[in-house]
Amino acid sequence: MSGTTVEKNMPVTIDDGTVDGVTPIIYLDDVHVTFRTRTGSILHPNLVHAVQGVTLRLMPGKTLGIVGESGCGKSTTANVMCGLQAPTSGHVFFKGNDVTKRTAADRLKIGRVISVVFQDPATALNARMSVHDQLLDPMLVHSVLTPVERERRVRDLIGMVGLPSSSLEALPGQLSGGQRQRVAIARALAIGPDAIIADEPTSALDVSVRAQILNLLTDLKRDLGLAMVFISHDIQTVRYISDDIMVMNGGKVVEQGPAKDIFEKPQDDYTKLLLGAAPSLLHPKLGQ
């Protein structure tokens, strides 16, 4: 019989996404996510294929922009990356370790390294907790720093996002939309993550405030060496902040690569449609 004989005990080499000796913070390998709807039957279920065959790498210190219209699968992909959604098939690697079938300990480790900034700070923040307590809470959950160091960290965080220390005693409802989003960003930074996933973080804000938040995220990425996933339906916003861009349509990746290549030489018709149909929503001070 011809062919290659494989020993039963031979170790299997698993691709963890490492490129040129650098291991991604998160690596998704051919990930699919399928949801069962309430309609249909057990024998004939109605299924929604939210994510189909997505492969991506979030590299240290880089920003990956994910762009597409509502319902294209970008937020579901982000939920897989941060451990909020298990894939139906495919593999998820966290710093080289396969966490596809994640345990509670795996989720805690991922939460220690990857933080999320959600779309609407009004609902992401606890309306009954002061800003001070909301910044303190992640440090208590993950048992980091001493009580004195935590208080110092809280004051450092509020200054880091450009808010006065007096805002620490405020409730979210006493702040503007832009101020609340700054608090949400400060909370995401509380335990010193390696990466932030920002899911439509500016879409609930007006244009001038949107520019301020984008500039803040850009400055934090540079100063702290953060990796970032920036999700938006606005390709011009993604263009401003991203090193690499992934375009999604119908749950699939239709194009991905360096931001410059995507904008100067788009290959897919859907990417060209986004570029042609979406005028910039950025503030003029951001530059084009």
Strand order in the sheet with 97-98: 45-58, 26-40, 89-94, 97-98
First and final CA of the chain: distance in angstroms?
Answer: 64
- Residue 45 belongs to some domain of the structure: no
**Could you tell me if residue 69 is inside a domain?**
yes
- Tell me the pLDDT tens digit for each residue of 177-215: 999 999 999 999 999 999 999 999 988 788 888 889 999
Cα dist. 25→56, 85, 285 in Å? 11, 17, 32
In total, how many domains does the chain have?
1
pTM for the full predicted model: 0.87
Cβ neighbors of 174 (< 8 A, separation 6 or more) are none
What confidence tens digit (pLDDT) does each residue in 71-117 have? 999 999 999 999 889 999 999 999 999 999 888 888 888 888 899 99
Q: Give a yes or no: residue 231 inside a domain.
A: yes
| Gap between the Cα atoms of 157 and 112, Å rounded | 17
Question: What does pLDDT average to over the chain?
Answer: 88
Backbone angles phi, psi at 113, to 5 degrees: -110, -25
The string of DSSP codes covering 179-193 is: HHHHHHHHHHTTT--
Element (H, E) at 178: helix 177-188
Lowest-confidence segment of 13-22, 267-276, 279-288 by average pLDDT: 279-288
Query: Is 108 a member of any domain?
Result: no
Rounded Cα distance, 201 and 218, in Å: 13
Q: Look at residue 16 and tell me if it is in a domain.
A: no
pLDDT at 107: 83
Domain region containing 139: 60-87+114-278
Predicted confidence (pLDDT) at residue 154 exceeds the cutoff of 80: yes
Contact 66, 256 (CB under 8 A): no
pLDDT category of residue 239 using cuts at 50, 70 and 90? confident
Confidence of residue 14 (pLDDT cuts 50, 70, 90): low
Indicate whether 153 belongs to any domain.
yes
Is residue 15 included in any domain, yes or no? no
- Examine residue 252 and state whether it is found in any structural domain, yes or no: yes
Domain of 217, CATH number, reads 3.40.50.300
